[in-house]
Amino acid sequence: MSTKTDKIDRLAELTAQQESSSGASLWREALKRLRASKMALVGAWIIAVFLLLAIIGPWVAPYAPGQQWRGEVFVNRAEFVGARAENWFGLDHLGRDIFSRMLVGARQTLLLGVVSTLIGLSVGALIGSFSGACATLGGRVGQRIDSVVMRCIDIMLALPSLLLAVSVAAVLGQSMTTVMIAIGVVQIPVFARLLRGAMLVQGGSDYVLAAHSLGIRKRRIVLTQIMPNSLSPVIVQATLSLATAIIEAAALSFLGLGNPDSAKNPEWGVMLTQAQNYADSAPMMAVYPALAIIITALGFTLLGEAMREALDPKLRG
């Protein structure tokens, strides 16, 4: 008897030494991979710093964004005041402290990115899930509806995002809200296509077939099986879209459609656009906001890409 338990104990001990591979869910596995990813780490740090600046920026900024050093700088003077003790990044063409404006601008930029992405995400997800649901459970009529909706989405996708934004701005007039809506509208087709595509893939998968064969109602399958499993690409895209939104906002302001109220509410894109007019005399004035935009966008891109890789084992490196 005692040899038998010995035997079993020893076996259990040795078996336990072997790596256990089962048990962890897809999400937990993905999170583990995400933690191990250097890309995610760098991205998360950049985003954390950006978020911190966006929250505390306006309070810690040494000067008000609109405050001007009138005595020292004149519009179109050959040289602006560069970096110095009281103005770390120097003064801009109107004699305002660039450092302070950058700090205050972080919040505007974040707001712009988040709101526009939310617009794109919510409307796009609504259209996409509607279309996807029609396609998966609507029979022939549903598929018709789906194809009509998708044709419209394709038209939107075909148009250069800037022109779409310009069209929106033309109707709504020029304001910060317009910029947000315009960029959000541009994101709608991306999210719609993505969610619908993911739903169709999931809808064709074996576990959905299995659920069907168990007699679970179609609507329930869509809600409890297909939707949750289709969400991960949408989350990834939302992260990437934050980057796109910040870059697009800069491009819009370059086309003269940026935030008109830039004196009090500076935004990085507008600062960059204004700075380009004085590039010959003060190149650094453009470099600061440009770097801020690039690094922030990079942070979101890195995190998004890392998430995509973590969720898709095929892409793992």
Task: Characterise 108 by phi-psi region: left (phi > 0), alpha (psi -120 to 50), beta (else).
Answer: alpha
Q: Please give the size of the binding site for other proteins, defined by CB under 8 A.
A: 55
Could you tell me which stretch among 77-85, 101-109, 207-215, 274-282 binds other proteins (CB under 8 A)? Answer: 274-282
Least Å distance, CB 86 to other proteins, is 28
Site for other proteins in 285-304 (CB under 8 A): 286, 290, 293-295, 297-298, 301-302
Site for other proteins in 19-48 (CB under 8 A): 19, 21, 36
Give 192's contacts (C-beta < 8 A, 6+ positions apart): 123, 124, 125, 127, 128, 131, 149, 153
3 counts as binding other proteins under rule CB under 8 A: yes
Burial 188-201 (b: 16+ CB within 10 A, else e): bbbbbbbbbbbbbe
Q: Which helix (H) or strand (E) holds 237?
A: helix 227-254
Helix (H, G, I), strand (E, B) or coil at 175: coil
Nearer to other proteins, 147 or 224 (CB): 147
The tokens describing 258, both together, are 């940026």
Fill in the DSSP letter of residue 25.
Answer: -
Nearer to other proteins, 18 or 76 (CB): 18
Nearer to other proteins, 152 or 209 (CB): 152
Q: Which helix (H) or strand (E) holds 111?
A: helix 98-137
Interface residues with other proteins (CB under 8 A) are: 3, 6-7, 10-11, 14-15, 17-19, 21, 36, 151-152, 154-155, 157-163, 166-167, 170-171, 173, 243, 247, 250-251, 254-257, 269, 272, 276, 279-280, 283, 286, 290, 293-295, 297-298, 301-302, 305, 314-315, 317
